[in-house]
């Protein structure tokens, strides 16, 4: 997210100093989960600071599209929870990507979903439970290799 804001503010603002000033304020708001305040901040950046208003509009759209999935990073840090997508990406790689990529195959959305589900059951040692009860625990049992 930092990269996204840095890039789009570079396109939007008149110079690095102006970009950095706005970036600092926006990242502080996002860190505390204040997406409405971040949007309001973007909407009130003075016209004299902006060279490309479309980049600001893109950032506002980004905030709106991702509002539900943007946590309060400060709280997650306080609770010692990860603040990056690395654990999710790693799990995705274990469960799906390793099997589906670089094998010259094409996967339908339905087939990809089915394979991911089966692999998740296998990784979590839940296949027997699923086959017998049609239910399984939603706790990751996989350990990093």
Q: Does 91 share its domain with 126?
A: yes
Question: Under a CB-based contact definition with an 8 Å cutoff, are residues 41 and 60 in contact?
Answer: no
Per the domain annotation, does 145 fall within a domain? no
Alpha-carbon gap, residue 15 to 32, rounded angstroms: 26
Q: Sign of the C-alpha dihedral, residues 97, 98, 101, 104? A: negative
Q: Does 6 share its domain with 72?
A: yes
pLDDT of residue 145 exceeding 50: no
Per the domain annotation, does 41 fall within a domain? yes
Question: Under a CB-based contact definition with an 8 Å cutoff, are residues 10 and 50 in contact?
Answer: no
- In this predicted model, what pLDDT tens digit does every residue of 23-38 receive, in sequence order? 999 999 999 999 999 9
- Which of 115, 120, 113, 114 has its CA nearest to residue 142? 120
Q: Does 16 share its domain with 68?
A: yes
Give the C-alpha distances (Å, rounded to integers) separating 112 from 16, 105, 115: 43, 11, 5
Q: Does 10 share its domain with 47?
A: yes
Per the domain annotation, does 16 fall within a domain? yes
Per the domain annotation, does 38 fall within a domain? yes
- Supply the range of the domain harboring residue 8: 2-78
- In this predicted model, what pLDDT tens digit does every residue of 71-101 receive, in sequence order? 898 998 898 887 776 766 776 676 676 666 7
Counted domains in the chain: 2
Q: Does 35 share its domain with 55?
A: yes
Per the domain annotation, does 14 fall within a domain? yes
Give the C-alpha distances (Å, rounded to integers) separating 53 from 48, 49, 115: 11, 10, 43
């Amino acid at each position: 997210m930092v990269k996204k804001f840095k890039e789009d503010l570079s396109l939007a603002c008149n110079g690095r100093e102006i970009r950095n000033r706005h970036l600092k304020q926006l990242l502080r708001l996002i860190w505390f989960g204040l997406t409405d305040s971040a949007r309001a901040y973007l909407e009130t950046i003075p016209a004299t600071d902006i060279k490309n208003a479309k980049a600001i509009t893109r950032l506002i759209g980004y905030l709106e599209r991702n509002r539900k999935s943007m946590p309060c990073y400060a709280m997650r840090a306080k609770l010692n929870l990860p603040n990056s997508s690395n654990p999710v990406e790693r799990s995705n790689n274990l469960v799906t990507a390793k099997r589906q990529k670089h094998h010259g195959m094409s996967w339908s959305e339905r087939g990809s979903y089915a394979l991911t589900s089966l692999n998740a059951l296998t990784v979590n040692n839940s296949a027997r439970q699923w086959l017998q009860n049609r239910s399984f625990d939603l706790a990751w049992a996989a350990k990093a290799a």
